[in-house]
Amino acid sequence: MLSAVALQSGLEILTQPVGILGVLVLLAAIILIGRFLLSMAWRLVVIGIIVVGTIYVLGLLGFTLGVF
């Protein structure tokens, strides 16, 4: 069934092992890049929480930083 759909849509390379391997390698590359970007995003979120929390606590203690 899947190979018939692939043949009808012009994706006959996906019915061969080389095509399947290529798709899997491409998928692995996308996952690795996504993992790297997510780790960077988490670092930025944590740094943002620390910075905003520090400014908030300093504001509670009476320090004015002119930010808020």
pLDDT at 45: 95
Looking at the domain assignment, is residue 3 inside a domain? no
Tokens 């790297």: give the residue: 36
pLDDT at 19: 86
Looking at the structure of the chain, the number of domains it has is 1
How many other β-carbons are positioned within 10 Å of the β-carbon of residue 15?
14
pLDDT at 5: 58
Looking at the domain assignment, is residue 1 inside a domain? no
Looking at the domain assignment, is residue 52 inside a domain? yes
pLDDT at 28: 95
Looking at the domain assignment, is residue 55 inside a domain? yes
Tell me the backbone φ, ψ of residue 10, rounded to 5 degrees: 85, 20
In angstroms, rounded to a whole number, what is the distance separating the alpha carbons of residues 9 and 24?
A: 20
Domain range for 35: 16-68
pLDDT tens track for 50-63: 999 999 999 899 88
Its pTM stands at 0.56
- Ranges of residues in the chain with a pLDDT under 70 are 1-10, 66-68
